[in-house]
Amino acid sequence: YENAAQALSGYTPLNSRVAGIGNSSNKRAKIEKMPRVSVAQLAEDASYPTNTLYLPPRYTQGGSMDEGLVSNFRDSFYRQLTGGAVQSAADLDGFVPPPTNANLKSKAQLKEWIYIAEHWATGVDGLDAGQFRAKHKTWYSRMKPVTYKLGRRTGIHIRETDDGTKYLCRHSKDGSKSIIYLEIGQVFDALFEMHVMELGHRGRDATKNLADERYANLPDAQIRAFLDACPACAARRTARAFS
C-alpha cells in the first residue's frame, strides 16, 4: 500500500532514483558534457579564409539605364527599404537603422561592431576580456562571434584590405570564404551589380543565391524591395499584365 501511494503521488524511491527506472539510466548515459572553450581560445585557433572580398562599386548608370533612371531607382529602393524613413539616398548619412536589425547597419554601426570584434578576446579601455564581453553581451547573443559551427551569423571575423580598411565578415555557409557585412549605403550598388549587370534582371532566387555567396547581410526582404523598385522589372510585370 505504501509503495502504491508513493507511486501515485509521483514519489520515486531513493533506490530507484539511483539505479534508474526503465530507460532513464540510458538517457543519462547519452548525455556528455562538452568541454568548455573560451572565446579567446577560439579566436586564437581560428583560421580565416583569404579569398578576395567583393566590394561593390558605386553605379550611376548601367544595364540600359541612364543616370536619372538609376538615381530615381536608388531613391525608390531606399524609401521602400526604410519604410519611408529615408526619402532619398542623400538622406542616408543621417539615418540610423534600429540596433536590433542585424542585417541593416550604418557605417558608424559597422565601425562599432568591428571595434567590439577586435577586442572581444582581450578587452580594452581598462576592461578585461570578461568585463568587455559583459558590456557587449547583447551583441554577442545576436552575432555569436567565433564558433566552430558555421552558419548564417557565425564565424564572425575581421579582414583587412591592402589599403588598411577593415571589414566585418563572417564565413560563407560552407566555411570556404569570407563574406562581408555591407553598410546600408552599399546595399543598392551590391544588388544593382548582381541583379542588373550580371544576371540581366533574373528573378529573386537567382539574385539571392548570388548574394549569399558574396555578402553576409542581404536577406530576402532587401532583395524583394530591390526587385519591386527595379524599373525594368516593373515594366516587364506591366507588360505581362496586359498581354
C-alpha cell at 86: 529615408
Whether 160 and 168 have beta carbons less than 8 Å apart is answered as no
Q: Would you state the pLDDT for residue 146? A: 53
Which pTM value belongs to this model? 0.77
Whether 114 and 169 have beta carbons less than 8 Å apart is answered as no
Listed residue (182, 187, 211, 185) closest to 198, CA to CA? 211
- Band (pLDDT 50/70/90 cuts) for residue 86 is very high
Kindly tell me if the per-residue pLDDT of 47 is higher than 50. yes
Per-chain mean pLDDT for the chain: 80
Q: Would you state the pLDDT for residue 152? A: 47
C-alpha cell at 177: 570564404
Comparing 36-45, 101-110, 141-150, which segment has the lowest mean pLDDT? 36-45
Q: What is the mean pLDDT of residues 56-85?
A: 96
Q: What is the mean pLDDT of residues 62-70?
A: 95
pLDDT tens for 193-234 read 999 999 999 999 999 999 999 999 999 999 999 999 999 999
Share of residues in the chain with pLDDT > 90 (%): 56
